[in-house]
Amino acid sequence: MHKPAPTDYPVHKLIRERWSPRAFANKSIPQNVLRSLFEAARWAPSSYNEQPWAYLVATRDEQGSFERMLSVLVEFNANWAKSAAVMAIAVAELAFAKNNAPNRNAQYDLGAATALLSVEATAQGLAVHQMAGFDPEKARQLFGIPAGWEAIAAIALGYPGDPASLPPPLKDREMAPRTRKPIAEFVMAGQWGHTAPFATK
């Protein structure tokens, strides 16, 4: 399903076309494409080039691992994510490896890596749906995530599918128009609450 963002100002088509569906096609992602997705994540910016990210990944072909990954999701998410070709858990290292000092940008950097992964996925004709609705501690136990690392998001990846495959409430959400706050609401200048002059039409 093609669902470009109704942007107020021009942006690259990959940004317009990136969105988070819940309907996925029954189609595997080739390994070379998966390598490109994580290569994109690899080249994200990070504080002191620390690269404080890691991804646990399971394809649907790896049934046991895939089922364990689904089991850490809240039921609402597991019900639709089971159709994805690949599941992943994005994990951040909370301290700098070089001196063990807290890295307050670790989650920010992981988000940047996953954003680049999502843009590369869009370029490859794939969809990415990131989720907060999962149990980080269960993920730690099932996948042996070490101390000092924290599971931040679950991710479903796959080729976009038919919204008609979803139950009615999710189908309605899938078909609904995309909306976002205008930039005038969050781009400020001078002091908090003052809209930047360029952000107004």
Task: Write the CATH number of the domain with boundaries 19-162.
Answer: 3.40.109.10
The tens digit of pLDDT for each residue in 54-91 reads: 999 999 999 999 999 999 999 999 999 999 999 999 99
The tens digit of pLDDT for each residue in 114-139 reads: 999 999 999 999 999 999 999 999 99
So where are the chain's domains?
A: 19-162
pTM: 0.95
Integer Cα distance of 131 and 75 in angstroms: 12
- pLDDT-based confidence at residue 201 (cuts at 50, 70, 90): confident
